[in-house]
Amino acid sequence: MAQVFADKTILVQSDNQTALAYLRNQGGTRSEPLLSIARNTYTHLMTHRIHLMTSYIPGPLNSVADSLSRFKALPEWHLLPIATRLIFRKWGIPIIDLFASQNAHVVPRYVTRDLRDPAADFHDAFSRTWTYKLAWIFPPPCLMHQVLYAMNQAQEGVLSCYC
Protein backbone atom coordinates (compact mmCIF):
# COMPACT_ATOMS: atom_id res chain seq x y z
CA MET A 1 0.00 0.00 0.00
CA ALA A 2 2.84 2.41 0.73
CA GLN A 3 3.89 2.32 -2.94
CA VAL A 4 0.60 4.07 -3.81
CA PHE A 5 1.74 7.05 -1.71
CA ALA A 6 5.43 6.95 -2.68
CA ASP A 7 6.72 10.37 -3.80
CA LYS A 8 3.43 11.98 -2.74
CA THR A 9 2.32 14.41 -0.04
CA ILE A 10 -0.20 13.42 2.62
CA LEU A 11 -2.14 16.07 4.51
CA VAL A 12 -3.16 15.15 8.07
CA GLN A 13 -5.92 17.39 9.36
CA SER A 14 -6.92 17.06 13.00
CA ASP A 15 -8.50 18.86 15.91
CA ASN A 16 -5.96 17.20 18.22
CA GLN A 17 -3.13 19.71 18.67
CA THR A 18 -0.98 17.26 20.67
CA ALA A 19 -1.05 14.66 17.91
CA LEU A 20 -0.22 17.30 15.30
CA ALA A 21 2.66 18.63 17.41
CA TYR A 22 4.15 15.14 17.66
CA LEU A 23 3.86 14.72 13.90
CA ARG A 24 5.30 18.18 13.14
CA ASN A 25 8.21 17.71 15.53
CA GLN A 26 8.76 14.05 14.67
CA GLY A 27 8.11 13.14 18.29
CA GLY A 28 8.28 14.77 21.69
CA THR A 29 9.48 14.28 25.26
CA ARG A 30 6.26 13.97 27.27
CA SER A 31 4.97 10.62 26.09
CA GLU A 32 7.19 7.66 25.33
CA PRO A 33 4.39 5.75 23.51
CA LEU A 34 3.64 8.78 21.26
CA LEU A 35 7.36 9.26 20.60
CA SER A 36 7.61 5.63 19.51
CA ILE A 37 4.61 5.98 17.18
CA ALA A 38 6.01 9.21 15.71
CA ARG A 39 9.43 7.59 15.09
CA ASN A 40 7.86 4.57 13.41
CA THR A 41 5.65 6.81 11.30
CA TYR A 42 8.55 8.96 10.09
CA THR A 43 10.75 5.93 9.40
CA HIS A 44 7.98 4.54 7.21
CA LEU A 45 7.44 7.91 5.50
CA MET A 46 11.14 8.38 4.74
CA THR A 47 11.49 4.82 3.46
CA HIS A 48 8.74 5.43 0.90
CA ARG A 49 9.58 9.10 0.17
CA ILE A 50 6.25 10.33 1.49
CA HIS A 51 5.99 13.97 2.56
CA LEU A 52 3.69 14.65 5.53
CA MET A 53 1.91 17.96 6.09
CA THR A 54 -0.25 18.76 9.08
CA SER A 55 -3.11 21.18 9.53
CA TYR A 56 -5.14 22.05 12.61
CA ILE A 57 -8.94 22.15 12.29
CA PRO A 58 -10.85 23.53 15.29
CA GLY A 59 -13.21 20.94 16.75
CA PRO A 60 -16.47 22.66 15.71
CA LEU A 61 -15.27 22.70 12.08
CA ASN A 62 -14.17 19.07 12.16
CA SER A 63 -17.66 17.59 11.75
CA VAL A 64 -16.71 14.97 9.14
CA ALA A 65 -14.00 13.38 11.28
CA ASP A 66 -16.18 13.61 14.37
CA SER A 67 -19.03 11.89 12.58
CA LEU A 68 -16.76 9.01 11.59
CA SER A 69 -14.94 8.55 14.90
CA ARG A 70 -17.85 9.27 17.22
CA PHE A 71 -20.58 7.76 15.04
CA LYS A 72 -22.41 11.08 14.92
CA ALA A 73 -24.55 11.85 11.90
CA LEU A 74 -23.46 14.75 9.73
CA PRO A 75 -26.03 17.48 9.24
CA GLU A 76 -28.04 17.03 6.04
CA TRP A 77 -27.24 19.71 3.45
CA HIS A 78 -29.82 20.29 0.74
CA LEU A 79 -31.71 22.89 -1.20
CA LEU A 80 -35.43 23.30 -1.01
CA PRO A 81 -37.12 21.03 -3.58
CA ILE A 82 -38.49 24.03 -5.49
CA ALA A 83 -34.94 25.32 -6.06
CA THR A 84 -33.71 21.89 -7.12
CA ARG A 85 -36.57 21.53 -9.64
CA LEU A 86 -35.77 24.93 -11.16
CA ILE A 87 -32.09 24.02 -11.57
CA PHE A 88 -32.94 20.63 -13.12
CA ARG A 89 -35.45 22.20 -15.50
CA LYS A 90 -32.81 24.63 -16.77
CA TRP A 91 -29.71 22.38 -16.86
CA GLY A 92 -30.98 18.78 -16.87
CA ILE A 93 -31.20 16.02 -14.30
CA PRO A 94 -27.85 14.83 -12.93
CA ILE A 95 -26.79 11.19 -13.16
CA ILE A 96 -25.76 10.93 -9.51
CA ASP A 97 -25.86 12.81 -6.19
CA LEU A 98 -22.32 12.60 -4.79
CA PHE A 99 -23.02 13.89 -1.26
CA ALA A 100 -26.27 12.37 -0.12
CA SER A 101 -27.87 9.95 2.28
CA GLN A 102 -30.67 7.44 2.20
CA ASN A 103 -32.97 10.17 3.52
CA ALA A 104 -31.66 13.09 1.48
CA HIS A 105 -30.81 12.43 -2.17
CA VAL A 106 -32.12 14.38 -5.13
CA VAL A 107 -31.83 11.68 -7.81
CA PRO A 108 -32.15 7.87 -7.53
CA ARG A 109 -28.39 7.17 -7.80
CA TYR A 110 -26.41 8.55 -4.90
CA VAL A 111 -23.21 8.24 -2.86
CA THR A 112 -23.10 8.37 0.92
CA ARG A 113 -20.60 8.03 3.75
CA ASP A 114 -22.96 5.72 5.62
CA LEU A 115 -21.48 2.26 5.19
CA ARG A 116 -24.75 0.73 6.38
CA ASP A 117 -26.68 2.08 3.39
CA PRO A 118 -27.05 -0.74 0.83
CA ALA A 119 -28.98 1.44 -1.64
CA ALA A 120 -26.03 3.76 -2.30
CA ASP A 121 -24.03 3.30 -5.50
CA PHE A 122 -20.90 3.37 -3.34
CA HIS A 123 -19.61 4.96 -0.14
CA ASP A 124 -17.42 8.08 0.02
CA ALA A 125 -17.51 10.28 -3.07
CA PHE A 126 -13.76 10.90 -2.79
CA SER A 127 -12.88 7.20 -3.10
CA ARG A 128 -13.21 7.30 -6.91
CA THR A 129 -12.32 9.65 -9.74
CA TRP A 130 -15.35 11.59 -10.91
CA THR A 131 -16.21 10.66 -14.51
CA TYR A 132 -19.87 11.67 -14.69
CA LYS A 133 -21.34 13.71 -17.53
CA LEU A 134 -23.54 15.51 -14.99
CA ALA A 135 -23.37 15.18 -11.20
CA TRP A 136 -25.08 16.88 -8.28
CA ILE A 137 -22.41 18.10 -5.85
CA PHE A 138 -23.85 19.74 -2.77
CA PRO A 139 -21.38 18.96 0.05
CA PRO A 140 -21.13 20.32 3.57
CA PRO A 141 -18.99 23.49 3.45
CA CYS A 142 -16.15 21.81 5.37
CA LEU A 143 -15.55 19.50 2.38
CA MET A 144 -15.23 22.22 -0.28
CA HIS A 145 -11.43 22.02 -0.46
CA GLN A 146 -11.66 18.27 -1.15
CA VAL A 147 -14.42 18.85 -3.72
CA LEU A 148 -12.28 21.38 -5.60
CA TYR A 149 -9.34 18.98 -5.59
CA ALA A 150 -11.52 16.11 -6.89
CA MET A 151 -12.96 18.33 -9.61
CA ASN A 152 -9.44 19.25 -10.71
CA GLN A 153 -8.57 15.54 -10.91
CA ALA A 154 -11.52 14.77 -13.20
CA GLN A 155 -10.79 14.60 -16.91
CA GLU A 156 -11.40 17.86 -18.68
CA GLY A 157 -14.77 17.90 -20.38
CA VAL A 158 -16.02 14.81 -18.55
CA LEU A 159 -17.40 16.28 -15.34
CA SER A 160 -20.25 18.74 -15.38
CA CYS A 161 -21.78 19.43 -12.02
CA TYR A 162 -23.99 21.55 -9.88
CA CYS A 163 -22.18 22.92 -6.84
Cα dihedral sign, 129-58-116-111: negative
pLDDT by residue for the chain (163 residues), tens only, comes to 677 788 888 888 888 888 888 778 877 767 788 778 878 888 888 999 988 888 888 776 666 666 666 666 666 777 888 999 999 999 899 999 999 988 889 999 999 988 889 999 999 999 888 888 889 998 887 788 888 888 887 766 555 555 5
Angle at 120 between CA 154 and CA 89, to 5 degrees: 65
- Say if 148 falls within a structural domain: yes
| Same domain (yes/no): 153, 105 | yes
Q: Is residue 97 part of a domain?
A: yes
Length of the chain: 163
Q: Are 125 and 159 in contact (CB under 8 A)?
A: no
55 forms bridges with which residues in the sheet?
A: 13
**Domain check: are 103 and 138 in the same one?**
yes
Domain presence at residue 96: yes
What domain range includes position 107?
A: 81-162
Shared domain for 90 and 52, answered yes or no, is no
Q: Based on the domain organization, do 48 and 89 belong to the same domain?
A: no
Do 89 and 41 share a domain, yes or no?
no
